[in-house]
Chain A
Amino acid sequence: MDNKNRQPRVILHIDMNSFYASVEMADYPELQGKPLAIAGNPEERKGVIVTSSYEARKYGVKTTMLVGEARKLCPSLLIRRPNFDRYREVSKQLFAILREVTELVQPVSIDEGYMDISDLADRHPPELAEELQKRIFADLKVPCSIGIAPNKFLAKMASDMKKPMGCTILRKRDIPKKLWPLPVRDMHGVGEKTAEKLKKIDVRTIGDLANRKEYELKNLLGVNGSKLHQRANGFDEREVDPEAIHSFKSIGASTTLAEDTAEETEVYRTFRELAEKVEGRMKRKEVVGQQLQIMIRYNNRKTVTRTRLLHNNTNSREIISREAVDLFEEHWTQQPIRLLGITMSELVETNEAVEQLNLFTYERVAEKEPLYKTIEELKEKYGSDVFKSSKMPLPPIRTSFQKDFLDGD
C-alpha cells in the first residue's frame, strides 16, 4: 500500500437509524415509542417489512419479514405504507446539513453518507460529530449514528457499534480490541454467502480473517478476499468522492464545429466522434444509459435539445451515434450548425443494468451465452477489473456537457 506520503485522514460515516420509521415518527408524533414497521402492503398479511423501529426490533421484527409473521411476534405492531417521496425530501435536507460543514460529502444511499473532515484542523472531530448529530436531530427529528475513523471502512464499522444516536471513534490502535472480536458476518462487505465460505476454513471473527494469510483468502474468495483481508487489518484507501452520485446522472460531450456547417457528412462525422467520447466516459464510470439527448446550436445561436428513450440500456458508440443521427435528421431545420452535443442520461451502473431480450433477436445474445458465463466466473475469481483495459486508452475527461455548452463560443 502506498500510503506513506499521505496525511492521516479523518472520515465520518453518518448512518440514519431505521430511517423510514424515524421519519414517520417525526411526522406523526403519536407513533413515537411504539413498535412500528414500514411495509409494502399493510393490508395484506403477505406484505414485506421494509424497515422497523427499535421498539419493534425488540420483538424480533426484521426487514423482509412478512407482515403476518411480524404480527405474530408483536401483536401491537403498527404498520404504515412507505412514503418514498417524503424520505427523499428528508434525505435531501440531511445532506444539505452535512454540506454546510464541508463540501467533501459522499451520499451512498438515501440514509447514509461519508464526510472527509481531515482539512478542518481547528475542529475536534468527536465534538464536531456530536454537534452534527444534535443538529440533525433538532432540525429533522430523526436520530443517526456516527462513526469517526481514519478511513471509510473503519468509519462504517464504527457507526454500527452504537445505535441509535451513537458517536463512536475507531482508531487503528483500537482494531484488535474493538473490531476483531466481532463475528465476521458483521463486517461490511461480508454477506451470507461469503460468511458461509469463511466458516468452512474456520474464520468466524473479523480477527480470524485479519490474521489469515492474504493468499489463502484470495484463493477462497478471489480479489474480494484480498480486499477483505486489508480492510480487516484497517486498510482502506477509498476517497470520499462527492461526485460519485452526481456523476451518474448524465454523461455527455459536445463540440463547437471549426466553422458553421450545413454539410451532412460533417455532421455525421461529428456525431461519431462525440459518441466515441461518450462511450469512453460511460465505460470509465461503468454505467449504461437509456435516454439519449442531442443538442443542436444553429449559427444564429438558437439552441434546441431533443430527447429519445432507447429500447435498451447502452454504452455503445455505434448505437449512440446511429440514434443521434436519426434524431438529428428528424429535427434539423437545414440551417447551418455551430455546435453539436450528445448526452446520455437515465444512467445505471453496468452491473445493475438489465436488457429485456427480444423474441426476434435474442439468438444474437444467446450465442454469446457461454462467453458471458466465462466472464462471470472470471469476474468472481479475479474481480471486475479484468475486463477493463483491453480497449485503447480512453480520452481524459475534460469538461462536463454543460460546461462545454457554456464555453461553447
Chain B
Amino acid sequence: MKFAIQRDQLMESVQDVMKAISSRTAIPILTGMKLEATTEGVKLTGSDSDISIESFIPAEEDGTVHIENIEPGSIVLQAKYFPDIVRKVPDNTVEIESDHTKNVTIRSGSAEFHLNGQDAEEYPSLPQLRTENSFDMPTDLLKRLIKQTGFAVSTSETRPILTGVHVSTEEENLQFVATDSHRLASRKISLETEETLNLPSVVIPGKSLSELNKILDDTGDSVQISITDNQILFRTKHLYFLSRLLEGNYPETSRLIPNESKTTVLIDSKELLQSVDRASLLAKENRNNVVRLLTKENNQIEIHGNSPEVGNVTEEVTADTIDGEELKISFSAKYMMDALRAIDATQVKISFTGAMRPFLITPVDDASILQLILPVRTY
C-alpha cells in the first residue's frame, strides 16, 4: 500500500475516526486504526465495538486532488501514535507506505517515521446493515435534536437504559426523549416523507450521539439513518457511523408528562436564565445547587439562592404573566439552566402543578419541544 495525501484532509478524518477508538478494549487490534487505499481514495476505520466509524477521503473531489500515487492495499496502525505524527509532520503532504513485513513508513518534508503495522486481515469487518428502515434528515436538524435532548441522559449505570436517548416514530413524527429520572427532555419533528415510517423504537447510547454530534458538520446536507434491532447507522457522503443500541424497554414517559397546570408563568427566557445563574452562584456551595422560586403579586417572580456558610441572594424578575395559584418551589439551578438553553426561545411558558410535582417548560405556542424538571423537596 502506498499513497501521498494532503495533511489537512487526513488530519480531519483521523480526528473523526479517533472518536471511536479506545485504548481499553477487549480486542487488542481495535486499539489500532485501519487504513485502506483503493484507486477511489483512502478509508479510515476505528471501532471500540460499541461505536464504529469509517471516514472516506476521495482521491479527487470537485476538481481538487487530495491523494496521489495510490498503490492499493491496507494496514492497521497504532492509534496511540498515528494522530500525533500526522499533526506534527512538517509538510502539507504526507506519504504513507507499507511493505510486505507490515512496516509502515510515513514521510513528510525531511521527516521519516517507521511504525510497526498489523495485518488488516485481522481487523474485524464491520457488520453490514441490511434494513428497509431508513430515512433521511438534514444534518443540522439532527445535531439540534441531539443538543436538545442528549444532555438529559443519565450518567449513572443504575438503570442502564436511561443512559440512552429513546427514538421513536409515530406516523410521520420522529421523537427524541431522554431522562435521567430527575428531568426529561423531549423533541418532536415531522419528517417530510411520502411513505409512512414504520421504524422500531430504539434507545441510542447518549455517548454515541454526543460523539456523532462532534463529528457532524453543521450543514443542511442530509444524513441517512438506518435502524436494525440492535444497531443504528448514520451515513453522510463520506462518513459511516455505526452504533450499538441499548437493550431493554425504555420506560413509558408520555403518561408522566402532566397535561394540566395550576400555575402558569410566561417569562423572558434569557432574564430567567440569568437570574437563576446568579442565584446559583450562592447556591453552589450547598450540595445540590438548589434555588427557590416564589410567585408574587404584580407578575413578580422571586428567585432565591442560599448557602449557610457563604450568604444568600434574592432577586425579583418580572414575568409577562402569572396565572393560577401562588407557588413556592425549589429546584436544581443546573437543570433549569440546561432546559432553558436547550429550548433556546425568547419567551417560555412554565406550567407548574404543585411544589412536589414535575413542571414543564416549553416555548410559547410550540409543543414540539418540552423540558420537564422534577423539583427538590425541602424539609
Using a CB–CB cutoff of 8 Å, the interface residues on chain A facing chain B are 40-41, 46-48, 50-51, 63-64, 66, 82, 84, 109-110, 288, 290, 346, 348, 350-360, 362, 365-366, 368-369, 372
A-B CB contact pairs (8 Å), 19 listed: A48-B281, A50-B311, A51-B311, A64-B311, A64-B312, A350-B379, A351-B379, A354-B288, A354-B330, A354-B378, A356-B182, A357-B182, A357-B358, A359-B181, A359-B184, A360-B181, A360-B251, A360-B256, A369-B355
Task: Report B337-379 CB contacts with A as 1/0, cut-off 8 Å.
Answer: 0000000000000000011111000000000000010111111
From B332, B375, B378, A353 is in contact (CB under 8 Å) with B378
CB closest chain-B residue, reference A359? B181
How far does the Cβ of B334 sit from chain A's closest Cβ, in whole Å?
11
List residues of B (41-62) whose CB comes within 8 Å of A's CBs.
none
Residues of chain A lying within 8 A (CB to CB) of residue B169: none
Q: Are B356 and A356 in contact (CB under 8 A)?
A: no
Q: Are B358 and A356 in contact (CB under 8 A)?
A: no
Q: Are B281 and A41 in contact (CB under 8 A)?
A: yes
CB closest chain-B residue, reference A288? B379
Please measure, in the bound complex, the distance between the C-alpha atom of A140 and the C-alpha atom of B113, giving whole angstroms.
60
How far does the Cβ of B261 sit from chain A's closest Cβ, in whole Å?
15
Q: Are A355 and B274 in contact (CB under 8 A)?
A: no
Going nearest first, the 8 A-B pairs with the smallest beta carbon separation are A366-B356, A357-B374, A40-B281, A355-B377, A354-B376, A369-B356, A359-B181, A353-B379
User: Given contacts A48-B278, A109-B309, could you give 8 more A-B pairs where the C-beta distance is less than 8 Å?
Assistant: A50-B311, A64-B311, A348-B287, A352-B308, A353-B378, A354-B377, A359-B253, A360-B256
Q: Are B288 and A356 in contact (CB under 8 A)?
A: yes
Contact status of A356 and B374, CB under 8 A, knowing A48-B282, A64-B313? yes
Please measure, in the bound complex, the distance between the C-alpha atom of A110 and the C-alpha atom of B282, giving whole angstroms.
16
Q: Does B38 contact A (CB under 8 A)?
A: no
Residues of chain A lying within 8 A (CB to CB) of residue B309: 109-110
Q: Are B281 and A358 in contact (CB under 8 A)?
A: no
Residues of chain B lying within 8 A (CB to CB) of residue A50: 282, 310-311
Residues of chain B lying within 8 A (CB to CB) of residue A353: 378-379
Q: Are A362 and B356 in contact (CB under 8 A)?
A: yes
Q: Are B278 and A46 in contact (CB under 8 A)?
A: yes
Q: Does B15 contact A (CB under 8 A)?
A: no
Q: Does B179 contact A (CB under 8 A)?
A: yes
CB closest chain-A residue, reference B288? A354
Q: Are B286 and A352 in contact (CB under 8 A)?
A: yes
Task: Report B256-294 CB contacts with A as 1/0, cut-off 8 Å.
Answer: 100000000000000000100010011001111010000
Q: Are B182 and A354 in contact (CB under 8 A)?
A: no
Residues of chain A lying within 8 A (CB to CB) of residue B330: 354
Q: Are B311 and A366 in contact (CB under 8 A)?
A: no
Residues of chain B lying within 8 A (CB to CB) of residue A63: 311
Residues of chain A lying within 8 A (CB to CB) of residue B358: 357, 359, 362
Contact status of A358 and B377, CB under 8 A, knowing A47-B281, A50-B310? no
Q: Does B173 contact A (CB under 8 A)?
A: no
Q: Does B314 contact A (CB under 8 A)?
A: yes
Residues of chain B lying within 8 A (CB to CB) of residue A362: 356-358, 374
Q: Are A357 and B377 in contact (CB under 8 A)?
A: yes
Q: Are A359 and B278 in contact (CB under 8 A)?
A: no
Q: Are B374 and A358 in contact (CB under 8 A)?
A: yes
How far does the Cβ of B199 sit from chain A's closest Cβ, in whole Å?
25
Please measure, in the bound complex, the distance between the C-alpha atom of A352 and the C-alpha atom of B309, giving whole angstroms.
12
How far does the Cβ of B349 sit from chain A's closest Cβ, in whole Å?
20
List residues of B (169-201) whose CB comes within 8 Å of A's CBs.
179, 181-184
Please measure, in the bound complex, the distance between the C-alpha atom of A358 and the C-alpha atom of B335, giving whole angstroms.
13
CB closest chain-A residue, reference B355? A369
Residues of chain A lying within 8 A (CB to CB) of residue B281: 40-41, 47-48
Chain A interface mostly:
mixed
Residues of chain A lying within 8 A (CB to CB) of residue B379: 288, 350-351, 353-355
Residues of chain A lying within 8 A (CB to CB) of residue B256: 359-360
Residues of chain A lying within 8 A (CB to CB) of residue B378: 351, 353-354
How far does the Cβ of A309 sit from chain B's closest Cβ, in whole Å?
11
Please measure, in the bound complex, the distance between the C-alpha atom of A290 and the C-alpha atom of B379, giving whole angstroms.
15
Report which residue of A110, A346, A352, A356 has the largest number of chain B beta carbons within 10 angstroms of its beta carbon.
Answer: A356
Please measure, in the bound complex, the distance between the C-alpha atom of A348 and the C-alpha atom of B308, giving whole angstroms.
11
Q: Are A365 and B377 in contact (CB under 8 A)?
A: yes
Please measure, in the bound complex, the distance between the C-alpha atom of A365 and the C-alpha atom of B358, giving whole angstroms.
12
Residues of chain B lying within 8 A (CB to CB) of residue A354: 286, 288, 290, 330, 376-379
Q: Are A357 and B375 in contact (CB under 8 A)?
A: yes
How far does the Cβ of B353 sit from chain A's closest Cβ, in whole Å?
9
Contact status of A355 and B314, CB under 8 A, knowing A46-B278, A47-B281, A369-B354? no
Residues of chain B lying within 8 A (CB to CB) of residue A51: 311
How far does the Cβ of B262 sit from chain A's closest Cβ, in whole Å?
11
Residues of chain A lying within 8 A (CB to CB) of residue B314: 64
Please measure, in the bound complex, the distance between the C-alpha atom of A64 and the C-alpha atom of B304, giving whole angstroms.
11
CB closest chain-A residue, reference B159? A360
Q: Are A355 and B357 in contact (CB under 8 A)?
A: no
CB closest chain-B residue, reference A311? B158
Residues of chain B lying within 8 A (CB to CB) of residue A109: 308-309
How far does the Cβ of B283 sit from chain A's closest Cβ, in whole Å?
10
Q: Are A365 and B356 in contact (CB under 8 A)?
A: yes
Residues of chain A lying within 8 A (CB to CB) of residue B357: 362, 366, 369
CB closest chain-B residue, reference A39? B281
Residues of chain A lying within 8 A (CB to CB) of residue B253: 359
List residues of B (302-320) whose CB comes within 8 Å of A's CBs.
308-314
Please measure, in the bound complex, the distance between the C-alpha atom of A355 and the C-alpha atom of B290, giving whole angstroms.
10
Please measure, in the bound complex, the distance between the C-alpha atom of A82 and the C-alpha atom of B278, giving whole angstroms.
15
Residues of chain B lying within 8 A (CB to CB) of residue A358: 181-182, 374
Please measure, in the bound complex, the distance between the C-alpha atom of A350 and the C-alpha atom of B378, giving whole angstroms.
9
CB closest chain-A residue, reference B274? A46
Please measure, in the bound complex, the distance between the C-alpha atom of A162 and the C-alpha atom of B332, giving whole angstroms.
40
How far does the Cβ of B276 sit from chain A's closest Cβ, in whole Å?
12
CB closest chain-A residue, reference B285? A84
Please measure, in the bound complex, the distance between the C-alpha atom of A348 and the C-alpha atom of B286, giving whole angstroms.
10
CB closest chain-B residue, reference A91? B309
Q: Are A40 and B375 in contact (CB under 8 A)?
A: no
Please measure, in the bound complex, the distance between the C-alpha atom of A182 and the C-alpha atom of B375, giving whole angstroms.
41
List residues of B (241-259) whose CB comes within 8 Å of A's CBs.
251, 253, 256
Please measure, in the bound complex, the distance between the C-alpha atom of A346 and the C-alpha atom of B288, giving whole angstroms.
13
CB closest chain-B residue, reference A46? B278
Residues of chain B lying within 8 A (CB to CB) of residue A355: 376-377, 379
Residues of chain B lying within 8 A (CB to CB) of residue A357: 182, 356, 358, 374-377
CB closest chain-B residue, reference A82? B310
Residues of chain A lying within 8 A (CB to CB) of residue B377: 354-355, 357, 365
Residues of chain B lying within 8 A (CB to CB) of residue A351: 378-379
Q: Are A359 and B372 in contact (CB under 8 A)?
A: yes
Residues of chain A lying within 8 A (CB to CB) of residue B290: 354
How far does the Cβ of B163 sit from chain A's closest Cβ, in whole Å?
15
CB closest chain-B residue, reference A88? B309
Q: Are B376 and A359 in contact (CB under 8 A)?
A: no
Please measure, in the bound complex, the distance between the C-alpha atom of A110 and the C-alpha atom of B184, giving whole angstroms.
38
Q: Are A356 and B372 in contact (CB under 8 A)?
A: no
Please measure, in the bound complex, the distance between the C-alpha atom of A354 and the C-alpha atom of B332, giving whole angstroms.
10
CB closest chain-A residue, reference B282? A48
Report which residue of B281, B358, B376, B377 has the largest number of chain A beta carbons within 10 angstroms of its beta carbon.
Answer: B377
